[in-house]
Amino acid sequence: MDNGNIIEVKNLTKNFGKFAAVDDISFSVKKGEIFGLLGPNGAGKSTTLRMLSTLSRPTRGTATIGGYDTVKHDMEVRKLIGIVSEKMIIYNRLTAKENLSFFGSLFNIPKDTLNKRIDNLLELVQLTKWKNAQVGTFSTGMRQRMNVVRALLNMPQVLFLDEPTLGLDPQSSVEIRDFIKKLNQEQGTTVIITTHMMVDADLLCDRIAIVDHGKIIALDTSTNLKKIISGADTMIVKLEIANLTPDLVASIKALKCADAVTQENSTSLHLIVHGEAAFDNIIDAVREKSGKITSMANLQPSLEDVFLHITGHEVRDNADQKIPMEHNPKFGASPRRVR
């Protein structure tokens, strides 16, 4: 705790049978930080979160929260944390107030204090009007707001959020993001958030750990992560071709300078390329197949590109798809580990 770290994770591992869902990860989180775990489904983010929040027992390694070991002092850890998991922790047949009263009562909070806190929290997320309505009648956005304030009943020092914007419309997502940001700034709550949404990670997190196949493959601020790309003589190119054919896509993919090629729709391609001659090579390849280039733009790298660059596959990729252990040999720069 002396070094300002509220969470310390050392060699944390979780095996399910022979499969390592979380594979020997170590990191620490500073007090008051918003820390993101970014990666595709099945990368081990949720499992990591479950171990940190005492819901799952690590196979190996340790994690401490506020100096308390998550296994040996699980009760102490539970007092310090709140979780918002992917599945909403609320009972549809109970009213908003009943839900919060029930969960609050499990924390031994005195009744008066609890009632006051419930009123404040409901006010905070504009649900006071629906206090006595059954949660089952709420919209998804309202229920997620309920789900978030539920985790705040014990005024946690650390708030764990597992995919908090999953399945929400853009406006509700913005509301939740703003709420988390506000909470972090006003209460100083440390926030650990897992997401596969680049926007969430980019807009919210002070630092981001990119997780893939149970390992942290990069950990830094969003800005620094993006520098991996610009520093590696790599460019992001958006290419519009009016008469795009599979044959043409294949020949672009075959180019030596193309690290990753993603087809966005019937006419546009998203490319990560390297080398001085990259633009010429692409244009030559397109001309050769008599393709018509309607536009070609050099884009700012996004976190998605960073992920693609480091892992060689997309965040949306299916998790059970096997990725070769060594990274794409076509990379000009070998995948680097930040930190």
Residue placing its CB nearer to other proteins in the complex, 46 or 311: 46
Find the binder of other proteins among 12, 22, 81, 180 (CB under 8 A): 81
Distance between CA atoms of 154 and 261, rounded to whole angstroms? 47
Closest among 126, 105, 123, 127 to 114, alpha carbons compared: 105
Distance between CA atoms of 156 and 203, rounded to whole angstroms? 22
Residue 315: CB minimum distance to other proteins, A: 24
Residue 88: CB minimum distance to other proteins, A: 7
* DSSP sequence for 55-102: SS--SEEEEEETTEETTTTHHHHHHHEEEE-SS----TTSBHHHHHHH
At residue 111, the 3 state secondary structure works out as helix
Q: Which stretch binds other proteins (CB under 8 A): 5-13, 75-83, 177-185, 266-274?
A: 75-83
| Contact by Cβ (8 Å): 56, 50 | yes
Considering only residues 148-177, where is the footprint of other proteins by CB under 8 A? Answer: 150
Residue placing its CB nearer to other proteins in the complex, 134 or 268: 134
The phi, psi pair for 210, rounded to 5°, reads: -90, 120
Between helix 111-124 and helix 140-150 the angle, nearest 10°, is: 140
Residue placing its CB nearer to other proteins in the complex, 57 or 292: 57
Considering only residues 189-248, where is the footprint of other proteins by CB under 8 A? Answer: none
**With binding defined as CB under 8 A, does residue 249 bind other proteins?**
no
Please name the residue that has the structure tokens 């070998």. 334
* DSSP sequence for 274-295: ESTTHHHHHHHHHHHTT--EEE
Residue 215: CB minimum distance to other proteins, A: 23
Q: Which stretch binds other proteins (CB under 8 A): 70-78, 168-176, 254-262, 294-302?
A: 70-78
Number of residues forming the site for other proteins (CB under 8 A): 30
| Contact by Cβ (8 Å): 257, 273 | yes
Residue 281: CB minimum distance to other proteins, A: 50
Residue placing its CB nearer to other proteins in the complex, 86 or 280: 86
Size of the chain, expressed as the number of residues it contains: 339
Cβ neighbors of 323 (< 8 A, separation 6 or more) are: 213, 311, 312, 313, 317
Find the binder of other proteins among 2, 3, 87, 322 (CB under 8 A): 87
Residue placing its CB nearer to other proteins in the complex, 134 or 262: 134
Residue 224: CB minimum distance to other proteins, A: 33
Residue placing its CB nearer to other proteins in the complex, 27 or 68: 68
Q: What's the DSSP call for residue 302?
A: -
Residue placing its CB nearer to other proteins in the complex, 86 or 288: 86
Distance between CA atoms of 141 and 128, rounded to whole angstroms? 15
Residue placing its CB nearer to other proteins in the complex, 61 or 275: 61
Cβ neighbors of 101 (< 8 A, separation 6 or more) are: 114, 115, 118
Residue placing its CB nearer to other proteins in the complex, 53 or 234: 53
How many CB atoms are located within 10 Å of the residue 161 CB?
26
Considering only residues 300-329, where is the footprint of other proteins by CB under 8 A? Answer: none
* One character per residue 88-127, x = contact with other proteins (rule: CB under 8 A): xxxx-xx---x---xx-xxxx-------------------
Largest CA distance in the chain: 76
Considering only residues 47-66, where is the footprint of other proteins by CB under 8 A? Answer: 53-57
Binding site for other proteins (CB under 8 A): 53-57, 75-76, 78-79, 81-83, 85-91, 93-94, 98, 102-103, 105-108, 134, 150
